[in-house]
């Protein structure tokens, strides 16, 4: 049959199809009792119509998938085919079941080779997703096992099929369609002599499954990020700086952003409130700037609550309990809570001119719009940090930065793009622009803020979701689909996180609790 002659149509099975279905089942299952009675099929169609899927070619039934709903906990454990069958050969469909169970897939012998089975499986998967069911289960026969039964155990046979050393028409097909062997089923179908009564319990996991929960407890899958490519400008007072910040927070909130993001050390122009002579004392100037941090924390927390938006407050200088200086990014939640992430790697300039110290803690923050991490500027150039955050299921990585030259900016940009790809997450890059020759160490800035994504079909071809005009003050937005991250991590063209060779290497965070005086023996 030529491809030009095909007129395929995917639809749901109806009772009127029974005569053709019976002919098809008798041909395919001649060694297992043939077709189901009409009463059985009619009941199945009545109780779960969406699960009975057919492919026809000009009215001829050429492919069928029969499915029921079951309780996952019951049928993901050892069971027999008869556990699905009630009196008078009725198939037991659980209307409240949280999983689908594949009963049969039949393809007309004349239509094999057109991958119709794959179409039926894809239709099943789409139905599983649309109904928010947990998984698709199936008891898979291993019809070629009888040829190897004298030399291989069922487990050895399954292993060789998985390694493609043996071809099994059912198991090989199931595995090619992303089904995983969960366990071996004994005496599943005793009359199946070819399989010697054995079967594999196969499972396709619905990675988008969401357990029932209160609407208020459910996190959104769509997150809007707004960021400010901030111009470093002279301020006449702290109040003037806070007024400018609130203007941007208000604007980002008006566009229903879940996050407002500011750059690293975005309040640094307040060093200009000292006269030029005082600024020559770099240590004095940076400690002068640190004196405003507590006021900024109070005001930014107020804005987060008032404007109902989470604020990534760039970073600010903090004087620690040890009287040392730290570069700290604060996360102001819209519920009023505040969390912090210190810059861990300090640049030579920060260390030389300001004697800033690196922090010793790294964490992922739970927010009402996903799990987020923050790496301040230079930190993103150390890939271990991004991977440690990814191991804690981070969705979005925020990178507030401050660079003076384009080559410095490109280091941060290229490393941020790498973190998005290798950790299968979104990365939000936010920097400052403008020239301030009147303030020491703020002469020039270079920035082109952006949002990066993993590099796969679900995302833009260049993996750039949004980008600003270089060196121009502006706000920008990007809508992030967290569901796409779930899909790419499980079913992407490549799956970086899943495919790591943990048998060869690992990554861990050292315990630095001794620095805070904790008793490690407790």
Helix (H) or strand (E) holding 135: strand 135-141
How far apart CA 326 and CA 350 sit, in angstroms, is 10
Tokens of 335: 């519920």
Relative orientation angle of helices 406-422 and 383-390, to the nearest 10 degrees:
30
Cβ within 8 Å of residue 436, ≥6 positions away: 232, 233, 234, 269, 272, 442, 443
The torsion of the CA quartet 396, 397, 400, 404, rounded to 10 degrees, works out to: -120
Which residues have a Cβ under 8 Å from the Cβ of 467 and sit 6 or more positions away?
Answer: 448, 449, 450, 451, 476
54 closest CA partner among 5, 106, 110:
106
β-pair partners for 311: 260, 332
Catalytic residue list contains 264 = yes
Rounded (to 5) percent helix, strand, coil in the chain: 35, 25, 40
DSSP 388-423: HHHTTT--EEEEE---SSHHHHHHHHHHHHHHHHHT
Which among 264, 299, 350, 440 is annotated as catalytic? 264
What is the rounded CA–CA span in Å between residue 336 and residue 332? 7
The answer to whether the CB of 142 falls within 8 A of the CB of 201 is no
Instruction: Determine which one of 56, 343, 350, 440 is catalytic.
Output: 343
Give the active site residue among 43, 144, 203, 377: 377
Angstrom distance (rounded) from CA 514 to CA 230: 39
221-230: b (≥16 Cβ within 10 Å) or e? bebbbbbbbb
CA distance linking residue 74 with residue 77, whole number of Å = 6
Contact 137, 102 (CB under 8 A): yes
What's the first-to-final CA gap in the chain, in angstroms?
76
Which residues are annotated as catalytic?
264, 343, 377
């Amino acid at each position: 049959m030529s491809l030009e002659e095909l007129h395929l149509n995917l639809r749901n099975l109806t009772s009127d199809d029974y005569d053709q279905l019976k002919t098809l089942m008798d041909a395919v299952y001649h060694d297992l009792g043939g077709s189901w009675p009409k009463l059985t099929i009619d009941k199945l169609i009545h109780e779960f119509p969406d699960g009975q899927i057919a492919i026809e070619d000009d009215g001829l039934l050429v492919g069928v998938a029969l499915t029921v709903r079951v309780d996952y906990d019951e049928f993901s454990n050892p069971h027999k085919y008869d556990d699905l069958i009630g009196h008078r050969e009725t198939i037991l469909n659980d209307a409240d079941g949280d999983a689908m169970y594949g009963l049969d897939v039949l393809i007309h012998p004349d239509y094999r080779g057109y991958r119709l089975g794959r179409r039926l499986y894809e239709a099943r998967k789409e139905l599983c997703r649309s109904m928010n069911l947990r998984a698709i289960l199936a008891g898979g026969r291993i019809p070629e096992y009888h040829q190897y039964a004298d030399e291989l155990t069922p487990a050895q046979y399954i292993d060789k099929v998985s390694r493609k050393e043996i071809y099994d028409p059912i198991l090989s097909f199931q595995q090619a369609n992303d089904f995983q062997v969960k366990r071996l089923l004994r005496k599943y179908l005793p009359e199946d002599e070819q399989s010697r009564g054995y079967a594999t319990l196969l499972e396709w996991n619905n990675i988008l499954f969401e357990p029932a929960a209160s609407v208020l407890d459910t996190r959104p899958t769509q997150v809007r990020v707004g960021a400010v490519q901030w111009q470093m400008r002279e301020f006449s007072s702290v109040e003037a700086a806070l007024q400018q910040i609130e203007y941007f927070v208000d604007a980002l909130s008006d566009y229903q952003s879940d996050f407002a993001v500011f750059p690293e050390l975005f309040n640094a122009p307040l060093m200009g409130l000292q006269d030029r002579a005082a600024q020559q004392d770099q240590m004095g100037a940076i400690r002068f700037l640190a004196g405003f941090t507590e006021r900024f924390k109070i005001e930014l927390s107020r804005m987060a609550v008032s404007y109902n938006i989470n604020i990534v407050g760039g970073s600010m200088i903090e004087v620690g309990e040890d009287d040392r200086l730290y570069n700290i990014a604060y996360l102001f939640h819209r519920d009023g809570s505040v969390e912090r992430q210190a810059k861990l790697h300090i640049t030579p300039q920060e260390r030389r001119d300001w004697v800033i110290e690196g922090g010793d803690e790294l964490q992922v923050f739970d927010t009402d719009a996903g799990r987020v991490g923050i790496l301040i500027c230079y930190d993103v150039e150390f890939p271990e940090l991004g991977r440690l955050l990814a191991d804690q299921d981070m969705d979005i990585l925020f990178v507030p930065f401050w660079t003076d030259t384009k080559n410095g900016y490109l280091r941060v940009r290229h490393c941020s793009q790498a973190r998005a790809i290798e950790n299968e997450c979104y990365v939000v890059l936010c920097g400052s622009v403008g020239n301030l020759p009147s303030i020491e160490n703020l002469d020039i800035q270079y920035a082109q803020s952006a949002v990066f994504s993993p590099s796969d079909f679900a995302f833009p071809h260049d993996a750039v979701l949004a980008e600003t005009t270089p060196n121009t003050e502006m706000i920008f937005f990007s809508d992030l689909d967290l569901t796409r991250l779930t899909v790419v991590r499980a079913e992407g063209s490549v799956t970086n996180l899943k495919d790591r060779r943990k048998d060869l290497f690992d990554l861990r965070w050292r315990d630095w609790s001794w620095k805070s005086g904790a008793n490690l023996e407790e």
